[in-house]
């Protein structure tokens, strides 16, 4: 047995410097390979979840999300889904109303393949309070501008929601708002489902329900526009050549309708004043109503409403 151990020792020590060098080269090669196949990426805005005791609520937290750096192979990095990631802080065992919490990579959940290596911020401050509940009205909000008209009313269904959260925060919360509903380019009323916004910054409230149906009612504004000195033109029977004297030769026209259609003539659409002389016998003098052509959905009145038309033979 002594001979066997002696031979084993001799085998280990034989060419020991060469073996140590080989081991060192293998270690260096491993680190080089790991560095070559390892990628890093920072994913911002990962939601921060605070787990607390039943009957308690978060009064305030210094951050509602964190930025996390992940490391792994290119394939592992590509598999990361920010929607599935979360930073979970377990405060179910704490008895303190206010506490500074150190955030570690081990608190990141939803990771597959890659691993979290850094969290920013590294510390957050969390204040706890007694949980309460309160029913508050829901108010809708819009963003953008309709193509025609304006927002006349926003109706939310249901019109109230139940909030659960910090008792101190709920005492100063009178309503919650929907996420802004986009009305840009809309031409008529519509209905849209919308989630609710958190009632305040850096504190979490449970909302029941979490989304509501929003009905946006659009109305078109009525507008009036006056065009002065519009020439009056005569409509004659085909092939007739007559002398025509129209008194007065111009009229003022009042346009009425829904904006912005009424303003369209000011942007190049022609407004015409006409008198129908077809069938009138010449020579003669006639009182003829003025007809106004201004476009669809627009009412128009000529001032004066009638003109004198004097026809003569040529």
CATH number, domain containing residue 45: 2.170.120.30
- Name the band, by pLDDT with cuts 50, 70 and 90, for residue 268: very low
Beta bridge partners of 98: 127
Q: What is the mean pLDDT of residues 81-99?
A: 89
Residues 108 and 167 in one domain: no
For residue 17, pLDDT over 80 is answered with: no
Whether residue 207 is contained in a domain is answered as: yes
Whether residue 226 is contained in a domain is answered as: yes
Per-position DSSP letters for 17-74, written without gaps between them: HHHHHHHHHHHHHHHHHHHHH-EEEEEEEEEEEEE--TTEEEEEES-SEEEEEEEE-H
pTM of the model: 0.55
Residues 232 and 214 in one domain: no
Q: Which positions ≥6 away from 69 have C-beta within 8 Å?
A: 40, 41, 42, 116, 117, 118, 119, 120
The count of domains in the chain is 3
Q: Which positions ≥6 away from 147 have C-beta within 8 Å?
A: 185, 186, 187
Residues 115 and 176 in one domain: no
- Cα 26 to Cα 31: distance, rounded to the nearest angstrom: 9
For residue 264, pLDDT over 60 is answered with: no
Range of the structural domain that residue 232 is part of: 222-313
Residues 114 and 46 in one domain: yes
Whether residue 28 is contained in a domain is answered as: no
Residues 125 and 135 in one domain: no
Whether residue 13 is contained in a domain is answered as: no
Residues 284 and 272 in one domain: yes
Residue listed under structure tokens 């016998």: 281
Task: State pLDDT tens for residues 277-293.
Answer: 888 888 899 999 999 98
Residue listed under structure tokens 């080269």: 25
Please state whether beta strands 272-276 and 222-235 pair in parallel, antiparallel, or not at all (unpaired): parallel
The predicted structure's pLDDT at residue 237: 84
Whether residue 309 is contained in a domain is answered as: yes
- Which CATH number do you get for residue 174? 2.170.120.40
Contact 49, 204 (CB under 8 A): no
């Amino acid at each position: 047995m002594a001979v066997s151990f002696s031979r084993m020792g001799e085998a280990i020590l034989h060419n020991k410097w060469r073996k140590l060098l080989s081991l060192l080269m293998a270690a260096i090669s491993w680190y080089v390979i790991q560095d070559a196949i390892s990628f890093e990426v920072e994913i911002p805005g990962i939601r921060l979840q605070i787990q607390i005791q039943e009957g308690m609520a978060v009064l305030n937290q210094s951050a509602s999300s964190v930025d996390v750096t992940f490391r792994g192979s290119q394939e592992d990095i590509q598999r990361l889904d920010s929607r599935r990631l979360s930073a979970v802080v377990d405060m179910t065992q704490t008895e303190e109303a206010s506490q500074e919490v150190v955030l570690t990579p081990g608190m990141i959940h939803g990771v597959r393949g890659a691993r979290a290596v850094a969290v920013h911020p590294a510390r957050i401050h969390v204040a706890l309070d007694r949980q309460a509940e309160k029913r508050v009205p829901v108010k809708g909000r819009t963003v953008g501008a309709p193509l025609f008209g304006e927002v006349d009313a926003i109706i939310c269904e249901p019109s109230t929601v139940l909030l659960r959260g910090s008792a101190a925060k709920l005492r100063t919360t009178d309503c919650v708002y929907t996420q802004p509903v986009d009305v840009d380019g809309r031409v008529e009323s519509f209905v849209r489902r919308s989630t609710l916004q958190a009632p305040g910054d850096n504190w979490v409230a449970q909302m029941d329900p979490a989304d509501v149906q929003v009905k946006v009612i659009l109305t078109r504004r009525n507008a009036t526009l006056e065009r002065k000195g519009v020439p009056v033109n005569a409509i004659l029977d085909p092939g007739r050549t007559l002398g025509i004297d129209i008194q007065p030769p111009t009229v003022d026209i009042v346009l009425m309708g829904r904006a912005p259609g009424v303003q369209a003539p000011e942007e190049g659409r022609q407004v015409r004043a006409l008198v129908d002389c077809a069938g009138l016998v010449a020579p003669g003098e006639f009182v003829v109503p003025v007809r106004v052509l201004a476009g669809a959905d627009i009412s128009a009145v000529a001032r004066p409403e009638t003109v004198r038309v004097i026809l003569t033979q040529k």
